[in-house]
Chains A and B, each alone.
Chain A
Amino acid sequence: MATTPPDLDKPSTQLGTTRSASGVRLGDRIFRGSSMGAGIFVLVVMAAIGTFLLIRAIPSLTSNESNVLTTQNFDPDNNDWGIAALAYGTLVSSIIALILAVPVAIGIALFISHYAPRRLAVILAYVVDLLAAVPSVIFGLWGLRFLSEHILPIERWINDWFGWIPVFGGSVNSASSLFTAGVVLAIMILPIIAAVCREVFLQVPRAHEEAALALGATRWEMIRTAVLPFGRPGIISATMLGLGRALGETIAIALILSPSYAINASVLEIGGSTFAANIALRFGEIAETGRSALIASGLVLFLITLLVNMGARAVIARRKEFSGASA
């Protein structure tokens, strides 16, 4: 029918002229192979991270003369180091961050999903995304040069009134404390927790909500009976994702904390250190064994965040199976 017959690589009587030996085209084989290769590459990278850190951590672990788990001091160049103080600082600052961030993040998520008018909600969701886009070094700068002077009176006030509780005890004369670090971490992990919660809250079946409202529930009762129970696994995994971020945050903490290697019950007193911040701060000044010890502490951090993140993903995956709410 065409005026000029198209010179397709297909004679009109033969089906399989362009076939290759296996019946699959070369282009498809290459493309499929390289995309699968890229997928495998991801697995290889994850395995390589663990392997390389382990290999380079071994020298310092074998030469260390102190117990690596219980020693608070961190002086690897003299073979006297451990991760006790780092682990404590990392954990405490992250817990403070979670305590402050999770309730506020749930509030934000509810605000966007159920309280704000629709058009406003879109803008507000964007604002929360922007908060997530601010680089951590800028939060560090802000924390060091702005927040610390404004938060010091508040820390003093807490110390004055609640100093009888060991956590808030001690003498407060600088804001370079785990508490300040925790506050900055809270701000930094707020967006991720809020974003995951918001997504889960928006997936609550409309029928559940309307059923609650039809029974005469107030908006809060509807949220308590329909939204929060449905969203609980989402809140848990969002919290764990936030925890993973907080545990691994480096530069903001490095800028804010005045490092010291001692476990101090008070979160308001100056000092403390975390795995990540310690690596960034000490890396430049330390000798070879020292770097190996830093790598060892980095390996511990990697494994902890790996576990936390895997846990978070597992919770999300389970919820998907049960609710079938998201395809």
Chain B
Amino acid sequence: MSTTLLPTNEPTREPESRSLLPETRPLPGWMPWALAVAAVGLSVLLLLALGSLNLPLAVVVSVPIFAALVGLASARLEGTRRAKDRIVTVVVYTCFALAILPLLSVLITTIQRGASHLTPYFLTHSQRGIGPRDEGGGIYHGIIGTFEQVGIAALIAVPIGLLVAVYLVEYGRGALARAVTFFVDVMTGVPSIVAGLFVYTAILLGFGTTPKGVWGGLALSILMLPVVVRSTEEMLKLVPNDLREASLALGVPKWKTIVSIVMPTAIGGIVTGVMLSVARVIGETAPLVLTVGATDSINFNAFDGPQASLPLIIYDQAFRSSPYAQDRAWATALTLILLVLILNLVARGIARWKAPKAR
């Protein structure tokens, strides 16, 4: 391999694995590992010299040193082009680590600080009569509120969202359809606090009513609607046109074709999209701050009086410095993350299970 000029059968897709040019030698396989060890050693020494050695900082410092060492070694042995390629590879891998890090940190912190307080008692009792500095209490009132508010949001957003998607895929043409597509996209970018302000101005001020769970659900439905439309639209587009034609050619009216053939074919994807949209709004806090009021008691009726919710409990308790409030905040956060996670996993499960097999 060292001096051959013959074109070999080796795949050349991986330029660093083999070289056809005699004057350059690829980096030996052990080299990056050795350089990694060297980089860690160097960074530890450097930090010791500066007198600020700790683990996170050592990791942070090792990465650029490693990139520099690999770059230098590669430039020496393989030329600068390969060196650049190797440095970029290190950078790209680092970027990925940077994305994982906060996720892991959030998850680990929440589990560490919340798990021990997430007890059956916590899930089945409210905060009623328990001050922010007191121990105990639970989030039963918040669980009820969150389920009812998100349920109301889904009841509003899902039917409308499905209809909009049907309009865009099956009927829409021309300027109106283009406008709807565009504004559905833009609607995904409406800040959640603005959705809350809208419900506050249009409903609470407009009708002179008081904060209730249902208004929170209404605000959430505005955030949910474009997500439902987008995902459903994608799924309906995946349904082969053949099936629509087959049904129409049987003398089935178009609306029945859509309801009985097109929608059932796409149902797995549609349900997945709806569940993901639920997962997205279940943790929304800002619109609720403006629309549902606040209470520490159980209120089953979303149409009467203020209602609690999980995100609002976290928001409220997080501000309080009492260790008990902190415990409650983390335990509630863990509950919420678990809910979101379960929704996500179930949604993916449905997507896989219901994926059209023969297409």
Contacts from A to B (Cβ < 8 Å): 10, 25, 27-28, 30-32, 34-43, 45-46, 48-49, 52-53, 55-56, 103-108, 110-111, 115-116, 124, 126-131, 133-142, 144-147, 150, 187, 190, 194, 213, 216, 218-221, 223, 241, 244-245, 247-251, 254-255, 276, 279-280, 283-284, 294-295, 298, 301-302, 305-306, 308-310, 312-313
Q: Could you name 14 residue pairs across A and B whose Cβ atoms are closer than 8 Å?
A: A32-B255, A39-B164, A40-B176, A42-B229, A107-B92, A111-B96, A115-B93, A133-B340, A135-B283, A135-B285, A135-B336, A140-B318, A142-B106, A298-B194
Q: Is the CB of B286 within 8 A of A280?
A: yes
**Bound Cα distance A231, B195 (Å):** 32
Q: Is the CB of A35 within 8 A of B170?
A: yes
B8 contacts chain A at the CB level, 8 A cutoff: no
Find chain B residues with CB under 8 A from A294 CB: 197
Q: Assess A249 versus B191: contact at CB under 8 Å? Given A39-B177, A136-B283, A255-B319.
A: yes
Find chain A residues with CB under 8 A from B253 CB: 25, 27-28
B163 contacts chain A at the CB level, 8 A cutoff: yes
Q: Assess A39 versus B187: contact at CB under 8 Å? Given A137-B315, A220-B84.
A: no
**Bound Cα distance A124, B96 (Å):** 9
Which of B32-40, B125-133, B198-206, B296-304 makes up part of the contact surface?
B198-206
Inter-chain pairs besides A35-B163, A306-B190, 8 sampled, C-beta below 8 Å: A31-B166, A38-B164, A43-B180, A124-B96, A138-B337, A139-B106, A310-B182, A313-B186
Q: Is the CB of B180 within 8 A of A39?
A: yes
**Bound Cα distance A255, B312 (Å):** 12
B155 contacts chain A at the CB level, 8 A cutoff: no
Picked from B96, B197, B314, the residue with its CB within 8 Å of the CB of A279 is B197
Q: Name which residue of chain B comes closest to A191, CB basis.
A: B99
Residue among A111, A126, A135, A313 with the most chain B CB within 10 A? A135
Give chain A nearest CB distance to B277 CB in angstroms: 11
Q: Name which residue of chain A comes closest to B166, CB basis.
A: A35
Q: Assess A138 versus B171: contact at CB under 8 Å? Given A111-B95, A111-B96, A145-B318.
A: no
B76 contacts chain A at the CB level, 8 A cutoff: no
**Bound Cα distance A144, B194 (Å):** 24
Q: Assess A141 versus B164: contact at CB under 8 Å? Given A56-B205, A104-B95, A219-B85.
A: no
Find chain A residues with CB under 8 A from B197 CB: 53, 279, 294-295, 298
**Bound Cα distance A313, B230 (Å):** 14
**Bound Cα distance A11, B244 (Å):** 25
B354 contacts chain A at the CB level, 8 A cutoff: no
Find chain B residues with CB under 8 A from A150 CB: 56
Q: Name which residue of chain B comes closest to A188, CB basis.
A: B102
Which of B62-70, B116-124, B265-273, B326-334 makes up part of the contact surface?
B326-334
Q: Assess A52 versus B106: contact at CB under 8 Å? Given A27-B255, A218-B15.
A: no
Q: Is the interface of A mostly helix, strand, loop or mixed?
A: helix
Q: Is the CB of B163 within 8 A of A46?
A: no
What per-residue 1/0 map shows which CB atoms of B278-295 lie under 8 Å from chain A? 011011111001100000
B189 contacts chain A at the CB level, 8 A cutoff: yes
Picked from A190, A220, A245, A302, the residue with its CB within 8 Å of the CB of B88 is A220
Find chain B residues with CB under 8 A from A38 CB: 160-161, 163-164, 167
A-B contact count (CB 8 A): 274
Q: Is the CB of B330 within 8 A of A141?
A: yes
Picked from A34, A53, A108, the residue with its CB within 8 Å of the CB of B96 is A108
**Bound Cα distance A39, B168 (Å):** 8
Q: Is the CB of B185 within 8 A of A213?
A: no
Find chain B residues with CB under 8 A from A137 CB: 283, 285, 311, 314-315, 318, 333, 336
Give chain A nearest CB distance to B194 CB in angstroms: 5
What per-residue 1/0 map shows which CB atoms of B237-280 lie under 8 Å from chain A? 00000000000000101111011000000000000000010011
Q: Is the CB of B103 within 8 A of A130?
A: yes
**Bound Cα distance A110, B96 (Å):** 9
Which are the 10 A-B pairs with shortest beta-carbon distances? A135-B283, A248-B191, A107-B95, A309-B189, A31-B255, A38-B163, A250-B286, A35-B167, A218-B85, A39-B180
**Bound Cα distance A306, B186 (Å):** 7
Find chain B residues with CB under 8 A from A248 CB: 189-194
Q: Name which residue of chain B comes closest to A114, CB basis.
A: B92
What per-residue 1/0 map shows which CB atoms of B333-356 lie under 8 Å from chain A? 100110011001000100000000
